[in-house]
Structure 1
Amino acid sequence: MAVPINLNAIKKDLTEALGDSINAYQQSLKAWFRQKMSKEEFDTEARKMLKADMVHLHNRFLLSILAKCQVLSNTPAPAEKSPSASNSSPKQKPKLKRKATTATTNRNNYTQKFIPVNPISYAPVVSPRSLEDDINVGFSSREATLPDISMVHGRMYVCAWENGLDDVAENAVKFVMTAVESQLKDIIVKVLGRKSGYKLREKRFKYSIGCDVPNPYLRRSQLKTNYFRESSDATEISNSGIQTPTIRLSEEAAELEAIQQLASVSVNEQMQNDKGPITLFHLLDALQLYRNVIPSHSVYVPAVEKTIHQLSHSTHEELEQDVIHHQEVNIKQQLANQQYQLQLVL
């Protein structure tokens, strides 16, 4: 079987080797996860804190974090029981006896044709990486996608260690991922609601986002009742207490309603309607108008600041400075690797 990953034991050994420098190491680890520090800079800082014979603990610690998160992301979902097995009644005892007799015959045939196989060859083994390999951590800002379960698990490990916790439960990781999806959905709905028109169902739920907004000064009592649906239920209860399907609009009635909605929108309003892509200006407008979309003030303020900061493009001088900075980081990393190899030789 594969050797289990004991992350707490590796972290304990690294903590003992660092001593008083554990806080500085955690700050560097946190900056690396937040993309404020590159992997080369993080390795350089870690080598300054550790002795030459203790650098392998730093590499083992990073490999164990990535392996732990990878094991969680590759964990298969529990298999559901088949309905035939769940609906089987305990009264069918004769059938169970017959199956037992056939099982014995199959077992005899199986033992005669049995070929021994090494079970270790079928066990999942985490492939080790060499110390010289660069460990890349995915960032949501680079990939423009939501973080996966392994990425969230790794960042929650850092937050847990900063608060004195040793481990992170799998249910907590899934809960955070669900919360991120729900928060992002609310922000997108607010942005689209400010950008274009929409309809309301039961005066609360938005749907048909992107439709034209009717002129509120026109007299259209029949259109008003059709525009705001009072119920979205698939069935309704009759006077006799029986659930019946709700009456749907006929094809002619639905076509007439669509014509009335288009006629109630003025031509100037159709021309002024924004049909372009969503920009940061739409996001900033929605965040400033709907402040309660992000209830936490410590999360709302950095979100607005980052949005305003991204509105301005980088100049050519700033881009050149970034290139020079990356070149300096690569040179420092090469010098650090050469010094480390000389120490091993000596």
Structure 2
Amino acid sequence: MLFRKLFTLTLTIIFIFGCTVALPQFSAAAPPWGHPVFGHGKDRVTAAGVDEDVWKGPDEDGGEEDSQDIGERELENIEEEAEEQEEIDQGPAWARGEHPSLKGLYNAYQHLCCNGASLRAQERVLALIRARTVEEAVYALEEAVGDDETLEEVTSDEETCEALLEEANRLQEEVQQQFRESKKKAWALKKLGRVYARLGDRLAAEDALIQAAALTPEDKAVYEEINKLYAGIEMSEMPVFIKGKKVVFDVPPQVKNGRTLVPLRKFAESLGCTVDWDPVRKQVVVMQGAKKVVLGIGEKIATVNGRKVALDVPAQILNGRTLVPLRFVAESLDAQVDYYDESSMIVVK
């Protein structure tokens, strides 16, 4: 009986101590970097309902004597510790204000809210503001323009569209600086290419996608995005990609009887081949390792390692350049050729 009374008394004392001493010390403060919508950490409130910026403890101000007692060494230690914790103290990227596009994103978010945009559109722009890493920001930006309904909302306002394009430009710079692995960089550039295309900046989209193709020349998804971009656009010449790189010929590719002919030397050298010209027989000789392809000007019979092969269209000279059937030469050298009907684009891998 006595033990029970002592136990009850002990619990009562602990409870009173907790309510009167420990609880007021507890703080439910927001992180120092605050919230992107509700403000900064300086407005946080303690559990006792007292504004920390207004109330000060009896010893908070200290005094001149206490301040003078702190030695230079201790101050240096404090500064070093502060630098080590800088990233944690500053919080996520949207709170640090490290990039110029942040202000534009804030304005874009406010415009969407004021103009009655859907909650989905607001949340996607807000997710972009809150992104902590480049990867998260790339994902968030792609989501912001991912579906047609949201795209219409974010692009209907010119300032919002410009803010998203500015953020895409910033992310492209960050990708070039931070990502070292080719596949990872290509992944980000491919997504940014889609974003540029959705926002109507065709040149920026093309540039990002061409960079992605050069980094991952076997990735069909990149060429599909480029095909979508080129489809319906009047091109000055047929786009040709060889081993991930877009090749521009001094004499544009020609289509003869359903076959595409391209300048041989630029084409062959892009595949890593050597080219020789036999002026006596008027033949071009393409060499790649043990493979040898010989084509005569105007002749419909070529040889591949000594084996005769019939051609639909012979090699010919145009503006001082020797043009040869692209698919025949590429496949004779064991290269793969893909043709995209929508854009008339040719990809050689």
Q: Which has the larger radius of gyration?
A: 2
TM-score normalised by the chain length of structure 2: 0.26
**Which is richer in strand?**
2
TM-score normalised by the chain length of structure 1: 0.26
**Which is richer in helix?**
1
Higher RCO by CA contacts (8 Å cutoff, separation 6 or greater): 1
